[in-house]
Chain A
Amino acid sequence: MMTNRKLQKDIERWLAAEAAAGTEEAERAFGAAFQALPRLEPRAGFAERVIYAFQPTPVVRPSEWLRWGWKAATGGALALVAVALGLVPLAGITVDLPSAGAVVRAATGGVTWLAAWLANGLEVWSFLVRIGNAIGVGIATPQIGAALIATALIGAAALYELNRLLVPERRTA
């Protein structure tokens, strides 16, 4: 015999209402029976994992006053510059602007200086290239190449032997 009368009634009420097409009653009864469906839950620490994944950064928002102050200061500065420029002819100040010829001369001088600087830099590189060539020719010579390989092999063998001798030392230490 079924002990949970309420549960039984909920289910029977729902199924009967569905069969009789009683929509509202079916929905009510179904809602009651559906409470038996367990709610699925995440593993413990889910919220912490969310926060870790999100890493919220503190938002620094300038206050309204600060933003308006900044705008006012910028606007004021621009207005002052405009007024000052307007006053220049009135004050009779002569501004000594460079002529077009002077600008061309300065530009030419700059290009000459830049070319000389680049040539110096290239000279340093050509010196390095000469050293590289000398090393390359040395390695490409059979006798010198053999001597270098032999030296490298002897060095590697010495390191290997040294390591082998030191292993027992390390173990005892």
Chain B
Amino acid sequence: MLDEQLVVEALSGSQSAYRELARRFERPIFNLVARMVRDHTLAEDLAQDSFVKAFSRLDSYRSEQGKFSNWLFKIAHNTAIDHLRKSNPETYSLDKGNDPDEPDFHALLADHEADTPLEAAERADLGRALGEAVDRLRPEYREVIVLRHQEGFAYEEIAEVTKLPLGTVKTYIHRARKELAAYLVAAGWGPAGAGRNPRGNAFVGRAG
């Protein structure tokens, strides 16, 4: 069933339609918010707020103005941005691995359908390195890169969600990619740093 049909059903009072909408979008919305705020618990609260806000004003959604997913992402974007504006972004720790009581956020979530344990470890390594590099980006860069390359949004859709000019979106994505490349090369992932493993974890070597 299309999202828009579920919206109509939800508006007519169907609780199962609301539940289905929440299930469909819980992962992408949470992923975006978590990447933006870099805190799992806070991300859950903000993602939940986003859904509650969206459901409370579901009657203001007009399908002729765009896809439901874009509308929902827009609300999640606003919720996360409001939070980031209220809190001081500098207070966020950039190195979550130093606290022994704090589980390694990326290591916990690094999971992929890999063929062998070695490949899985290697992919997890890259995932962790990418995650750390993404964490070091500015929040607006993190958001556009996640929307573009994890959620598969078109540039125009990103511009609609973030209310940024199309040119700015393209510039942000370009700069984000450049910065990520620089971080990864510095961390030993480039051809010049073959074999270097800065975290000393499962990765065994990158030389051809």
Contacts of A40 in B (CB 8 A): 30-31, 34-35, 40, 43, 109
Instruction: Pick from B11, B18, B180: contact of A51, CB below 8 A.
Output: B18
Give the CA-CA distance A37 to B116 in the complex, in Å. Answer: 18
> A38 contacts B184, CB within 8 Å?
no
Give the CA-CA distance A102 to B205 in the complex, in Å. Answer: 108
Contacts of A30 in B (CB 8 A): 149, 177, 180-181
Contacts of A36 in B (CB 8 A): 112, 123, 126-127, 130
Instruction: Pick from B30, B130, B177: contact of A26, CB below 8 A.
Output: B177
Q: Give residues of chain A (37-65) contacting chain B, Cβ–Cβ below 8 Å.
A: 37-43, 46-51, 53-54, 56-61
Stretch from A6-14, A122-130, A131-139, A141-149 contacting the other chain: A6-14
| Cβ-closest chain A residue relative to B173 | A27
The yes or no answer to B27 lying at the interface (CB within 8 A) is yes
Q: Chain B interface mostly helix, strand, loop or mixed?
A: helix
Give the CA-CA distance A40 to B151 in the complex, in Å. Answer: 12
Contacts of B88 in A (CB 8 A): none
Contacts of B22 in A (CB 8 A): 46-47, 50-51
Chain B interface residue count, Cβ-Cβ cutoff 8 angstroms = 60
Stretch from B51-59, B63-71, B92-100, B156-164 contacting the other chain: B51-59
Q: Give, as a whole number of angstroms, the nearest-CB distance from A105 to chain B.
A: 57
Q: Give, as a whole number of angstroms, the nearest-CB distance from B72 to chain A.
A: 12
Digit string of A10-22 for contact with B (CB within 8 Å is 1, else 0)?
0110111011000
Q: Give, as a whole number of angstroms, the nearest-CB distance from A87 to chain B.
A: 47
Q: Give residues of chain B (134-192) contacting chain A, Cβ–Cβ below 8 Å.
A: 134, 145, 149-150, 173-174, 177-178, 180-181, 184-185, 189-191
Instruction: Pick from A16, A33, A37, A60: contact of B131, CB below 8 A.
Output: A37
The yes or no answer to A1 lying at the interface (CB within 8 A) is yes
> B109 contacts A38, CB within 8 Å?
yes
Give the CA-CA distance A26 to B48 in the complex, in Å. Answer: 35
> A1 contacts B208, CB within 8 Å?
yes
> A51 contacts B27, CB within 8 Å?
no
> A2 contacts B206, CB within 8 Å?
yes
Contacts of B130 in A (CB 8 A): 33-34, 36-37
Give the CA-CA distance A85 to B184 in the complex, in Å. Answer: 88
Give the CA-CA distance A1 to B204 in the complex, in Å. Answer: 7
Instruction: Pick from B109, B110, B181: contact of A14, CB below 8 A.
Output: B181
Give the CA-CA distance A6 to B120 in the complex, in Å. Answer: 13
Q: Give, as a whole number of angstroms, the nearest-CB distance from A26 to chain B.
A: 6
Instruction: Pick from B109, B177, B206: contact of A41, CB below 8 A.
Output: B109
The yes or no answer to B13 lying at the interface (CB within 8 A) is yes
Q: Give, as a whole number of angstroms, the nearest-CB distance from A60 to chain B.
A: 8
> B131 contacts A42, CB within 8 Å?
no
The yes or no answer to B122 lying at the interface (CB within 8 A) is yes
- Using A41-B30, A54-B56 as known contacts, list a sample of 7 further A-B pairs with CB atoms less than 8 Å apart, ordered by residue number in A: A1-B205, A14-B181, A15-B184, A15-B189, A18-B177, A38-B106, A38-B109
The 3 closest A-B pairs by CB, nearest first: A58-B13, A47-B22, A40-B34
Subset of 11 A-B contacts with CB under 8 Å:
A34-B149, A34-B150, A36-B126, A39-B109, A40-B34, A41-B27, A50-B52, A51-B22, A54-B51, A54-B55, A61-B12
A residues lining the B interface (CB < 8 Å): 1-4, 7-8, 11-12, 14-16, 18-19, 23, 26-27, 30-31, 33-34, 36-43, 46-51, 53-54, 56-61
